[in-house]
Chain A
Amino acid sequence: MRAMIVDERDNVAVMVEDVKKGGTAQTGYEPITANEDIRSGHKIARKDIRNGEMVMKFNTAIGRASAEIKKGDWVHTHNVEDITEQLSEEYCRQYRAKGGKK
């Protein structure tokens, strides 16, 4: 079933079609076997993501894994912590400290 990868450095792909447990997500890169049913619009892990590791989409951290995630797992609110405020504050602090220099 079709899946899309936003940036090739991401550790998740987004299902374009529903995939059933045991089915294959075709990403245009490597195929991934789904460990559970995953609906279209939802994310599937492209590789193992350790508890506490960043979930990467758009080549940017979008959240922190709150459990051990295996390649092929459904990635969503049950195993990802929303740390947006923390990430935003960190970015603002770094930007101001560097005086805008990258």
Chain B
Amino acid sequence: MDTIMGYKRADGRFGIRNYVIAISLVQCSNSATVKIASACDIPYITIDTGCGQFKDDADRSNLGMICAGIHPNVYGVLLLSLGCQWTDASYIAKEIEKAGKKVYHLCIQKDGGYKVTIEKGIKIVEDMKAEAASQKKEECPVSGLVISTYPGGSDWTSTLSCNPVLGETADILVKEKGGSKITSCGVRGTPGCERNIVDYAKDYEVGCEILSIVEEYRHDVFKMTGQTIQEVNPTPGNKAGGITTLCEKAIGNTRLQGTAPIQGVLKIGDKVPYPGSWFVDNRMGGNDVYATTSDAMSGAHIILFSTGRGTNLGNAVATVIKITGNPNTYEKMNEFIDYSGGPVLMGEKTVKEAGRELYDLMIEVANGKQTKAEIIGDYSYVTPPFGKI
């Protein structure tokens, strides 16, 4: 059995990192959260609401915070609030505690005001970091790894020398090693390539469920905007780069999904029920940060992020590995890209060889090697808002 060294968690999962994170529960406590996190050099999550929300909106915000707190890569959490906000701090704390995590909550109004709260917060975080640093890693099965593959900022090389490489790596993890893969951009990305997704559904029921979700999404787009997806996609930028039709773009993106049978559909924030390939019903998955956050919300340890034009995006709890198929992008933006499929474009490597190399890199990252996103300190996390398109 293949293993990696990870941090065992009370809920039966394991983490490949032992992050201490700070989460702001309302806009008003954002700045204090940022100051504490910056002083202690830890990931933080801020929020653009937390007050005066309607129920569906609030439930989604809460879910995002809870999923971050219980994520397997997290050791402990500091929650920050103002005190009069809508978000119920004790409910969030309780849910995170149930997963066996260390949780502390500071409230600016009750804990001595702004400056004192920040001082207290820094102390709490430093103590948690020391505890986290002393936790020993143990042998954990590679089959317990959950990854996602995501196509962001595609250019003409993505479909030739990047996405197929990610698909190969995903297949190694899922089909060879018994691990898991999720897709959180599927709903937005499926119109135009239904065949390439649904043909991989493990059975007719799963296939129909995916088709129904995508049809509903198409219908909602037209109802809300008066335009079809085909009218606005591919974008002028895509066309200038050589992408001619919507399905050409969509099918190109699916090349990173791998060929393992899709076991079923998860709601946003659902954990993977058992190892395999899973489709997440995230209607806002066309936006890089919403999709990667959704992946993290379902417990993805690692996100394999395909980027043609280059992006610095990381995640506050999931580890993001950035891959490009464009040798120019890799050279100019080496600061935040971890792997290049450029040799595949140039005919120097096969997709299979590159896929295996990327898998080996992924295992190194799982064992502790820092990704470029971690080195530059990009820990983005924005919960996809409750919405239909």
Seen from chain A, the residues whose Cβ lies within 8 Å of a Cβ on chain B are 2, 4, 6, 14-16, 28, 39-43, 55, 57-58, 60-63, 75-77, 80, 82-85, 87-88, 91-92, 95-96, 99-102
Contact = CB atoms under 8 A, between A and B. Distances in A.
Given A14-B156, A28-B347, A75 B194 contact: no
Interface of B: 155-157, 159-160, 191-192, 194-196, 198-199, 201, 203-204, 207-208, 211, 215, 228, 230, 239, 241-242, 244-248, 250-252, 255, 345-347
Given A6-B159, A95-B198, A62 B244 contact: yes
Contacts of A41: 155-157, 241-242
Nearest to B156: A41
Contact of A42 (B228, B242, B251): B242
A60 B208 CA distance: 21
Contacts of B208: 95-96, 100
Given A16-B345, A87-B192, 12 more contacts: A14-B156, A15-B242, A41-B156, A41-B242, A55-B244, A58-B196, A60-B196, A84-B246, A92-B211, A92-B215, A99-B204, A101-B204
B160 A63 contact: no
Task: Choose among B239, B245, B347 the residue with the greatest number of A CB atoms under 10 Å from its CB.
Answer: B245
A84 B255 CA distance: 18
Contact of A95 (B159, B191, B203, B207): B207
B247 A84 contact: yes
B247 A4 contact: no
The 10 closest A-B pairs by CB, nearest first: A41-B156, A100-B204, A41-B242, A62-B248, A42-B242, A82-B245, A84-B246, A84-B247, A63-B245, A84-B192
B230 A85 contact: yes
Nearest to B238: A41
A83 B247 CA distance: 8
Contacts of B155: 41
12 contacts: A60-B251, A62-B244, A62-B247, A76-B244, A82-B245, A82-B247, A85-B228, A85-B230, A88-B194, A92-B194, A95-B194, A99-B204
Nearest to A41: B156
A39 B211 contact: no
B242 A76 contact: yes
Contact of A91 (B194, B241, B244): B194
